[in-house]
Amino acid sequence: MSQVVLKDLFARDAPLREQLNKEATNLQKVVLSERQFCDLELILNGGFSPLEGFMTQEDYQSVVHNLRLKSGAVFPIPVTLDVSEKLAESIKVSDRVALLDPRDEQTVLAILTVEDQYVPDKVVEAEKVFGANDRAHPAVEYLFGTADNVYLGGKLQAVNPIRHFDFVAYRYTPSELRSEFERNNWKRVVAFQTRNPMHRAHRELTVRAAKQHSARVLIHPVVGMTKPGDIDHFTRVRVYEAILQRYPKGSAKLSLLPLAMRMAGPREALWHAIIRKNYGASHFIIGRDHAGPGKNSQGQDFYGPYDAQYLVEQYSHEIGINIVPFQMMTYLPDEDIYKPVDQVEAGTRTLNISGTELRRRLLVGAHIPEWFSYPQVVSILRQSYPPKFSQGFVLVVPATADKLVPSALVSALNEDGRRHVSFVPHLDATTFTFAQELQRAGAAVVVSLTEADKSIQIPANWVQVNIGHDESVSEVTFTVLSKLSDEGYL
């Protein structure tokens, strides 16, 4: 099996930190996007080994077409630094550029030595990497709707450490996690990838996998960017903390992965396996429809349910990690146990609750049985996602509306008095999350879209204000308020 050489750039460049900080004061600055910030962290800490920077055109083309770097190493997902044409015009090959933390737009995290500047064929990237040029795929929508059109490639030097302020105890780097495994004599570790809350079926699946391979369990959830509409990572980590107590003592560990997912199905699963190998795992669980984004624009699944398993098994020996394929777990009420569906005899009574049904039960406050999830987990989910009658609502005013409409709605809702009212003048990653949190807290939120907000996907539970051609501001306001229920929600 392959022996991965961990590229820990933080450790490598630590002695140069003072020198690099001084140099960075005179360099051109680039503020990273949220995705680039996630990618940078995993390049610098070694999670994306053998990468030492953002991909040059030669590496990019090889990855897109062959799932390999130009060196021949398996790597299935392009990791690129996209910039605008205007910014690219001010940067030339051999320049050194300081990359800034997007949270404060000041802290220099790394210096990029620009080796390459190129314009990708995004249609080819979409078709090869994601399987279709279909904007129903969140990564394709990001590629065309958010990502800029010029890619910069080159090696990185780490300057300042990336600081996090939530769940710090669980944010292990690959080097730190490998050391933990060695210190505790964990020679065989089964890693479990998730972007969702864990319930009884997930606990049973991971325990079963660990027993089969005489291994310990690494719960390794993604806390970077996941699929739009997913449950926030703060809630999920509290769930993981609760479910960790359900494992035999000393058999499981929780570590958080700051990954920006692409939802690329089979390719993403192979990428996840490489990352887990870098973090020290010996085995990796791949379940049904691993990292699948759901339905395409024709209503069909983007990928087959077990395509990810088939692809990763082809490369498992080369990348140096054992694949643990698992089918969906189902509950057998007559025996009070979970089993993989392929091991259930025909005619056996089974029970399941889908993700859609779980969200419905949370929304209406319906019962969630203990056979499906643990009471502590359900309590955490209900706290973060109270039923609709306890929540507020978000009104979305289109960019084409009369500019007085948002102000009129805020005034009218304040007069109504049954909800605290907040106004969001435009949407970006921060205000989007702010609006969601206000809604969960019971507020009425009025969001005024601008032309620049067109690429943002509006959640299904937000109410878009439909305005007729001849409707006045007063008529629009009256129409909206007339739809309020007795409890004061839409």
Q: What is the pLDDT of residues 90-136, one digit of tens each?
A: 999 999 999 999 999 999 999 999 999 999 999 999 999 999 999 99
pLDDT of residue 77: 98
Question: Average pLDDT in the 365-382 region?
Answer: 96
Annotated ligand binding at 488? The verdict is: no
What's the CA gap between 438 and 421, in Å, rounded?
Answer: 9
What is the bridge-based pairing of β-strands 283-286 and 189-194? parallel
Class of residue 425 by CB neighbours under 10 A (exposed 0-12, middle 13-18, buried 19+): exposed
292 marked as part of a ligand binding site: no
- Cβ-contact 154, 116 below 8 angstroms: yes
Q: Does the annotation place 287 within a ligand binding site?
A: yes
pLDDT value at residue 248: 94
At 4 the pLDDT is 63
Report pTM. 0.86
Cα 160 to Cα 109: distance, rounded to the nearest angstrom: 5
Catalytic pick among 45, 173, 194, 278 = 194
The torsion defined by the Cα of 387, 293, 315 and 4, in degrees rounded to 10, comes to -60
Cα–Cα nearest to 60, from 130, 118, 141: 118
> Is the pLDDT at 1 greater than 70, yes or no?
no
Instruction: Evaluate if residue 487 carries a pLDDT over 80.
Output: no
User: How many Å apart are CA 415 and CA 481, to the nearest integer?
Assistant: 11
Q: What phi-psi label fits residue 305: left (phi over 0), alpha (psi between -120 and 50 degrees) or beta?
A: alpha
Element (H, E) at 53: strand 53-54
DSSP label at residue 438: H
Measured distance CA(126)–CA(120) in Å, rounded: 11
Residue 57 labelled as part of a binding site: no
Q: Which of 21, 113, 133, 196 is the catalytic position? A: 196
Question: Mean pLDDT across the chain, nearest whole number?
Answer: 94
Residues 6+ apart with CB under 8 A from 477: 405, 408, 409, 412
Q: Can 195 be counted among the known catalytic residues?
A: yes
- pLDDT over 90 percentage in the chain: 81
pLDDT score, position 390: 81
Query: Backbone dihedral region of 138: left (phi > 0), alpha (psi from -120 to 50 degrees) or beta?
Result: alpha
Q: Is the pLDDT of residue 301 over 60?
A: yes
The total of other beta-carbon atoms located within 10 Å of residue 96's CB is 17
Q: Please tell me whether 229 is known to bind a ligand.
A: no
In this prediction, residue 57 carries a pLDDT of 98
Which member of 195, 203, 208, 262 is catalytic? Answer: 195
Give the tens place of pLDDT for each residue, 163-213: 999 999 999 999 999 999 999 999 999 999 999 999 999 999 999 999 999
Q: What gap in Å lies between CA 320 and CA 3, rounded to an integer? A: 7
196 is catalytic: yes
Q: Which of 8, 366, 350, 355 is nearest to 178 (CA)?
A: 8
Q: Which among 255, 257, 246, 239 is positioned nearest to 207, based on CA atoms?
A: 246
Choice among 17-21, 100-104, 243-247, 464-468 with the minimum mean pLDDT = 464-468
What integer pLDDT is reported at residue 486 of this predicted model?
74
Return the pLDDT at 485.
80
Distance separating alpha carbons of residues 287 and 306, to the nearest angstrom: 8
Distance CA 361, CA 355 (A): 10
Residue 315 has a pLDDT of 97
Active-site annotation holds for 226: no
194 is in an annotated binding site: yes
pLDDT score of 489 more than 80? no
For residue range 39-75, list pLDDT tens digits in order.
Answer: 999 999 999 999 999 999 999 999 999 999 999 999 9
Rounded alpha-carbon distances, angstroms, from residue 359 to 84, 223, 231, 461: 39, 20, 10, 12
